[in-house]
């Protein structure tokens, strides 16, 4: 499904601050909850599941499905958690030989035998080898299904959400099982800073010290007023530093910076 969107709502400061918080929480247990909070303000949903599928494409079957996060009405699902392979799952056929990211809509079906099948679904899927990262948004069957405009919005947003989901999955695969949350939070922030400077170096782009501070502040979830207070400058100065940095990076505004950071 290929859709485009012309909507400026996702470029406002509040949206960008929440996107920055989502980036900084990759690999943490709050990642799914932050994604739910971000998306629900623009497209009403009641639940989000994050999962990683491992497929045997030669035999057209599922080897493993791991739940990497869940938030919403059913918060008792832990992450990561192994689910039973579902070789007859309705998503499997479309995911097997995909090349580009997909948006797969599934309408609610009464008495469905599949998990969450009785809810309206919008699934965003990316591919890395034989792995599929899946972001599944759900809406109760008592409500209307996803509209074309909402699907278009989610398709556009997938350019940023799917790379973040892939990063979240990679961190969980590599992370030790006995980590303390405060140390993990600091580690995530330092990793994000290292990744930011690495991407700058690879791009052969030079930002001023102020421009770097503003970009990192926004990427770690800070708002313009918060960063302005920290740097003892006006809000308008923060906006100016951002515009200069965005021009050098070849992106457009706050949302573009987030997409640049995750390589979208």
Domain holding 216: CATH number?
1.10.10.10
Strands of 11-148, DSSP E: 47-56, 61-72, 81-83, 102-106, 120-128, 131-139
Mean pLDDT score across all residues of the chain: 79
Closest-CA residue to 11 (of 42, 44, 46)? 42
Predicted model pTM? 0.64
Average the pLDDT over each of 23-27, 55-59, 236-240 and give the range with the smallest value: 23-27
Same domain, 144 and 186: no
- Residues 154 and 226 grouped into a single domain: no
At residue 153 the predicted structure's pLDDT band, cuts being 50, 70 and 90, is: very high
Is the same domain home to 186 and 138? Answer: no
Band of pLDDT at residue 181, cut at 50, 70 and 90 = very low
Q: Which of 17, 92, 78 is nearest to 50 (CA)?
A: 78
In a 3-state reduction of DSSP, which class is residue 104?
Answer: strand
Contact criterion met (CB below 8 Å) for 238 and 244? no
Cis peptide before 80 (omega within 30 of 0): yes
pLDDT grade, residue 175 (50/70/90)? low
Picking from 148, 174, 200, the residue at the C-terminal end of a domain is 174
Rounded Cα distance between 120 and 146, Å, is 7
Going by pLDDT thresholds of 50, 70 and 90, the confidence category of residue 79 is very low
Task: State the sign of the Cα–Cα–Cα–Cα dihedral 263, 27, 71, 183.
Answer: negative
Same domain, yes or no: 75 and 155? yes
pLDDT at 35: 92
Given 174, 202, 219, the domain boundary residue is 174
Long-range own/partner contacts, residues 191-198 (CB < 8 A, 24 or more apart): 192/23, 192/24, 192/216, 192/219, 192/220, 192/261, 195/261, 196/261
Tell me the C-alpha distance between 213 and 233, whole Å: 12
Q: Is the pLDDT of residue 62 over 80?
A: yes
What separation in angstroms does the CA of 198 have from each of 17, 109, 192, 249?
22, 47, 10, 14
193 with 69, same domain? no
Total domain count, the chain: 2
Q: For the residues 234-246, what does the mean pLDDT come to? A: 90
Within a domain: residue 72? yes
Contact assessment for residue 21 and residue 35, using Cβ atoms and an 8 Å cutoff? no
pLDDT of 110 > 70? The answer is yes
Alpha helices in 53-132 (DSSP H): 92-95
Question: Bridge-partner residues for 56, per DSSP?
Answer: 61
Last residue of a domain, one of 147, 174, 201: 174
Contacts 24+ apart (CB under 8 A), 229-232: none
Query: Which range marks the domain in which residue 136 is found?
Result: 9-174
Confidence of residue 86 (pLDDT cuts 50, 70, 90): low
Q: Residue 164: pLDDT above 70?
A: yes
Kindly state the average pLDDT of the residues 65-93: 65
Angle between helices 148-174 and 253-261 (to 10 degrees): 40
> Are residues 161 and 197 located together in one domain of the fold?
no
Sign of the Cα pseudo-torsion (47, 23, 219, 242, in order): negative
Within a domain: 243: yes
Same domain, 150 and 135: yes
For the domain that residue 74 is a member of, what is the CATH number? Answer: 3.30.450.40
Give the pLDDT band of residue 134 (cuts 50, 70, 90): very high
């Amino acid at each position: 499904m290929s859709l485009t969107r012309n909507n400026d709502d996702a470029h406002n400061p509040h949206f960008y601050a929440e996107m920055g918080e989502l980036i900084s929480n990759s690999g943490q247990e709050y990642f799914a909850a932050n994604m739910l909070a971000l998306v629900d303000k623009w497209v009403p949903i009641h639940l989000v599941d994050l999962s990683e599928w491992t497929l045997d494409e030669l035999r057209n079957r599922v080897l493993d499905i791991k739940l990497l996060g869940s938030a919403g009405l059913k918060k008792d699902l832990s992450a990561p958690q192994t689910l039973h392979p579902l070789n007859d799952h309705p998503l499997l056929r479309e995911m097997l030989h995909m090349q580009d990211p997909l948006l797969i809509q599934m309408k609610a079906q009464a008495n469905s035998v599949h998990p969450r099948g009785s809810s309206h679904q919008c699934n965003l899927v990316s591919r890395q080898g034989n792995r599929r990262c899946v972001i599944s948004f759900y809406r109760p069957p008592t409500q209307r299904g996803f509209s074309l405009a909402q699907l278009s919005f989610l398709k556009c947003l997938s350019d940023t959400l799917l790379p973040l989901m892939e990063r979240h999955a990679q961190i969980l695969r590599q992370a030790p099982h006995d980590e303390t949350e405060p140390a993990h939070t600091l580690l995530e922030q330092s990793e994000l800073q290292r990744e930011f400077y690495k991407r700058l170096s690879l791009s052969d782009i030079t930002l001023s010290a102020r421009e770097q501070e503003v970009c990192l502040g926004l990427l770690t979830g800070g708002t313009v007023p918060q960063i302005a207070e920290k740097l003892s400058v006006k809000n308008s100065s923060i906006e100016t530093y951002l515009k200069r940095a965005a021009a050098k990076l070849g992106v457009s505004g706050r949302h573009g910076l987030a997409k640049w950071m995750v390589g979208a």
